[in-house]
């Protein structure tokens, strides 16, 4: 995937999980959300720069310092030269995450997959199992998660898979410009190994096509081989990697 395509996917994925406070600065977006998640508390490159990079980096460092947060850049394979510049300043690249895509052109609807699967455009009854399955007990994190979802402006679809009358797995989709982002994928720990994760992803694939998307894509950390193998079996292919490049200051 070339740099232009990578930048496109990075930008639309950024619209699916937003910062509660943002500063737009010469083609960069600085995000602040009380330190909750790297994605919502990092610098995202949205477009071309016109200001000297050193000046821009120092500006970002100052802004994050004022928010009592580490300065983090979310960068991809399209930014290798910039990553090297940051590493020379003492930054470190962490949490390598692969972005994988699947074209939907030849996907055929299977009604059996959609059995016991429920979709909604709003998260009614979705957050509760999501928080439980993720083990998210901190009320502040729960509140921030709800606020982030509420601020997302693109179309969202919330998915619940039922098992024996109870919610057993959840995920969500964010659809923009023909691309459907599959994220927030989690299965309750006591029912893993039953194929519910596969069913959840297959349902998301079918729903994405029904919603008019041409591609579905996802982000999976390289240290999660179980999920990565599942996605490969479903036909997803790696396109590029992104990283969080963080300062220890």
pLDDT in tens, 4-52: 999 999 999 999 999 999 999 999 999 999 999 999 999 999 988 999 9
Contact predicate 154/184, CB 8 Å: no
- Whether the pLDDT of residue 2 is over 90: the answer is yes
Distance of alpha carbon 242 from alpha carbon 153, whole angstroms:
23
Helix axes 225-233, 196-210, angle to 10 degrees: 50
CATH architecture of 106-213: 3-Layer(aba) Sandwich (3.40)
Q: Smallest Cα–Cα separation from 40: which of 56, 65, 60, 22?
A: 22
Residues with Cβ within 8 Å of residue 192, at least 6 apart in sequence: none
pLDDT in tens, 167-207: 999 999 999 999 999 999 999 999 988 999 999 999 999 99
Contacts of the segment 219-222: beta carbons below 8 A, 24+ positions apart: 219/13, 219/97, 219/98, 219/99, 219/100, 219/181, 219/183, 220/97, 220/98, 220/100, 221/95, 221/96, 221/97, 221/98, 222/96, 222/97, 222/98
- Whether the pLDDT of residue 109 is over 90: the answer is no
Contact predicate 235/104, CB 8 Å: no
Averaged over 101-112, what is the pLDDT? 92
Residues of the chain within CATH 3.40.630.30 domain(s) are: 106-213
What does the pLDDT read at residue 92? 96
- Whether the pLDDT of residue 249 is over 70: the answer is no
Give residue 159's Cα distance to chain centre.
Answer: 16
Averaged over 122-149, what is the pLDDT? 97
- Whether the pLDDT of residue 116 is over 80: the answer is yes
Full-model pTM: 0.95
- Whether the pLDDT of residue 123 is over 70: the answer is yes
pLDDT in tens, 59-105: 999 999 999 999 999 999 999 999 999 999 999 999 999 999 999 99
Sequence length of the chain is 249
């Amino acid at each position: 995937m070339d740099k232009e395509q990578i930048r496109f996917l990075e930008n639309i994925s950024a619209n699916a999980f937003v910062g509660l406070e943002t500063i737009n600065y010469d083609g960069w977006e600085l995000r602040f959300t009380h330190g909750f998640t790297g994605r919502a508390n990092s610098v995202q490159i949205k477009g071309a720069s016109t200001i000297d990079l050193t000046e821009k980096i120092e500006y970002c460092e100052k802004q994050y310092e004022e928010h009592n947060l580490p300065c983090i850049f979310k960068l991809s394979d399209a930014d290798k030269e910039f990553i090297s510049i940051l590493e020379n300043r003492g930054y470190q690249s962490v949490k390598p995450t692969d972005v994988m895509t699947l074209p939907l052109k030849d996907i055929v609807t299977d009604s059996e997959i959609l059995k016991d699967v429920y979709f909604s455009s709003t998260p009614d009854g979705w957050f509760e199992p999501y928080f439980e399955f993720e083990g998210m007990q901190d009320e502040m994190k729960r509140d921030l998660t709800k606020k982030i979802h509420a601020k997302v402006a693109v179309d969202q679809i919330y998915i619940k898979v039922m098992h024996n009358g109870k919610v057993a797995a959840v995920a969500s989709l964010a659809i923009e410009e023909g691309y459907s982002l599959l994220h927030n994928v989690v299965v309750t720990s006591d029912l893993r190994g039953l194929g519910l994760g596969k069913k959840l992803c297959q349902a998301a694939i079918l729903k994405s096509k029904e919603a008019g998307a041409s591609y579905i894509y996802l982000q999976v950390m390289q240290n999660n081989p179980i999920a990565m193998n599942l996605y490969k079996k479903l036909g997803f292919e790696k396109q590029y990697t992104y990283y969080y490049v963080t300062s220890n200051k």
